Each structure stands twice: as C-alpha cells, then as structure tokens.
Amino acid sequence: MEFIDAFGPAIAKVKLPRKLLKELNVACEEGGENYGKNLMGTIEHPTAIPLPLLSKYHKFFADLAEEYHDRAYPEEPHALRISSGWFLRMRRADEFNPAHCHEDCNLSSVGYLKLPDNFDEICAENKYRGRLQFILGATMEYANPTITITPKVGDYYIFPWWLIHTVYPVREPLVGERRSFSISFKRKGMRPS
Ligand SMILES: [Fe+2]
C-alpha cells in the first residue's frame, strides 16, 4: 500500500486484483438497487453493490481500511466494517460529481472499474476533465490544498470521510463509460465522527 499525504490527511492507493475487478464489473452490469437517493451528483446510474459481493470481499476491503486506520492510530486499533457500497456510471459529457464528502462513516474509498476508450484524449485536453480532485478546504501560503487524481482501471483510493472531493465533467461524448465504485467503512462500536 502506498500513502500519499502531501497535504495532511493520507490518501492510500492500492492496485486491485483482476478477479475482483471482473466480479465488480459483472455485478455492475447486472444492475441492482437504485442508490441515487443517497448521492448528490448528476450521475444517472448509481446502484448499490450487491450485498453477497460485499460480503464475499468484506475481509479484503476491511483489511485495507484497517491498515489505513492503524497507520494513523497504531495505539488504538479498531476493527472496521463496510457500511455501504455503490457503483457510479458516468456515460454523458455533462455528468459530474459536485464537491462533497461521505457522511455517516469513518473512511471512504473509490476504485476504478472501466474508462471510456477516449479517456486519454479527454485527459490530454486539460488537467481537470474527467478527473477526481480532493480538496483540503483551506488555502495556505506555499501549500497545495488539492490533489488531482487521473483514474486508472484497478486503482483504489482510501481517504477520510470528511475529505471533500469532486469529479469534473468532460466536454466531448464519452466512447464507453467512466465506471467507479465506492465503499464506506465504519468503526465497530463507535459512532462516526
Ligand atoms: Fe464521493
């Protein structure tokens, strides 16, 4: 696990195994419970990750979240559990995710399952389109308050629930879709902060 903590809160980056990516993609394409009521974006197709799949990979994801937690609080290890998970499928140029954080959890995460065939061209146009940006929220002299992430299939990021983030729209039609999933984690026996 690699940690990126240039501006304070660490962002963990992990490469997900192919088998897991495949199973998540299949589950996403099969559809599922609408998750749109829980999200604030303009994205049309949020669906919940099916519970059997979350259960199957609970230990895998919870262990990653635990590693993140224990690095920050080695003297207070807490078991973390998955509290929710959903897929996001961006298929139109005007879709975006406004700046937000994930409440009712302790840690948040996002992973990339599929990208449009023309994503490299989209990214070449400027440094924001189609990308994820984390925003610390305060401007500090000589300090960078943002980190901009270019999605890559298989990359998975874990971050604190309160870390504001946004996904920028693209201008040209997507050839294919930008597909991601998110999982939230709660500390066992604790109310989220
Ligand atoms: Fe988010």
Q: List the strands of the sheet with 97-100, edge to edge.
A: 97-100, 164-167, 132-135, 146-149
CA-based torsion, 135, 72, 38, 58: positive or negative: positive
pTM of the predicted model, to two decimals?
0.90
Partners of 133 in the β-ladder: 148, 166
CATH superfamily of the domain spanning 2-187? q2cbj1_9rhob like domain (2.60.120.620)
Helix/strand/coil (H/E/C) assignment for every residue in 1-47: CEEECCCCCCEEEEECCHHHHHHHHHHHHHCCCECHHHCCCCCCCCE
With contact defined as beta carbons under 8 Å apart, do 10 and 71 qualify?
yes
Q: What pLDDT is attached to residue 18?
A: 97
Measure 106 CA to ligand 1 centroid, in angstroms: 13
Helix/strand/coil (H/E/C) assignment for every residue in 162-173: CCEEEECCCCCC
In the predicted model, residues of the chain with pLDDT beneath 70 are: 5-7, 36-44, 189-193
Q: Where are the domains of the chain?
A: 2-187
Measure 69 CA to ligand 1 centroid, in angstroms: 19
Measure 98 CA to ligand 1 centroid, in angstroms: 9
Measure 142 CA to ligand 1 centroid, in angstroms: 27
Measure 11 CA to ligand 1 centroid, in angstroms: 14
Q: What pLDDT is attached to residue 193?
A: 46
Q: What pLDDT is attached to residue 38?
A: 64
Amino acid at 149: I
Measure 163 CA to ligand 1 centroid, in angstroms: 9
Partners of 100 in the β-ladder: 165
What span, in angstroms and rounded, lies between the C-alpha atoms of 87 and 28?
7
